[in-house]
Chains A and B, each alone.
Chain A
Amino acid sequence: AQTVTQSQPEMSVQEAETVTLSCTYDTSESDYYLFWYKQPPSRQMILVIRQEAYKQQNATENRFSVNFQKAAKSFSLKISDSQLGDAAMYFCAYRSAWIDNDMRFGAGTRLTVKP
């Protein structure tokens, strides 16, 4: 079974600096999708960034980028120029390309941004 591990329960970053959140996963599949979701205190889960496993190029969305290492099964999220509004729980998620309901989440990393 696929599992997603986020080894950092909490992280802290100074405003305007860069922080990297770690995620590893376990799978025997070759086709899948990886996601980072953000869940602010208001509780709605918001998609931050998505990566297709067949793409070698790392996804980027403005200040958010990923470092996708398929062989190592690693999918870290880098937040550049951190802003106070980035403070939230961040969840890494894995979804099979073949099984529609099979989306697994990590336990999350709570990010604090210090002014």
Chain B
Amino acid sequence: DTGVSQDPRHKITKRGQNVTFRCDPISEHNRLYWYRQTLGQGPEFLTYFQNEAQLEKSRLLSDRFSAERPKGSFSTLEIQRTEQGDSAMYLCASSFRGQGNTIYFGEGSWLTVV
């Protein structure tokens, strides 16, 4: 299976610690997205890459959050000085222009800040 993969699937961390999530998109997809989802809600857009360029960041992405996509392949999302309000599912997705703008999601990384 060559779908979007995310690691780790679950992370429990103490408040104030830093965490990093990794996403490997579907190969040849040039677009990569990060979303955040809390219980009972739909995903909310965080940021978006086209190849290695980060083209858009949501207001939800405070300065404690940083995302990278070196070489336009995998991406990392780092949260510094985590807060309890950061507890959520972090979803990665990818797409390729020309496929009708369909976004394919990974299984998500579930973060719990205690």
Contacts and interface: CB of A to CB of B under 8 A. Distances in A.
Q: How large is the interface on B (under 10, 10 to 19, 20 to 34, 35 or more residues)?
A: 20 to 34
Given A43-B89, A43-B108, A44-B108, A108 B101 contact: no
Contacts of A105: 42-44
B91 A101 contact: no
A102 B48 CA distance: 10
A103 B45 contact: yes
A52 to B, nearest CB: 7
A52 B108 contact: no
Chain A contact residues: helix, strand, loop or mixed? strand
Q: How large is the interface on A (under 10, 10 to 19, 20 to 34, 35 or more residues)?
A: 20 to 34
Interface string A22-50: 00000000000101010000111111001
Given A43-B89, A44-B108, A108-B40, A101 B45 contact: yes
Interface of A: 4, 33, 35, 37, 42-47, 50, 52, 91, 93, 95, 97, 100-108
20 contacts: A33-B101, A43-B107, A43-B110, A44-B105, A44-B106, A45-B93, A47-B102, A50-B102, A91-B42, A95-B101, A95-B103, A100-B50, A101-B33, A101-B55, A102-B45, A103-B33, A107-B42, A108-B40, A108-B41, A108-B42
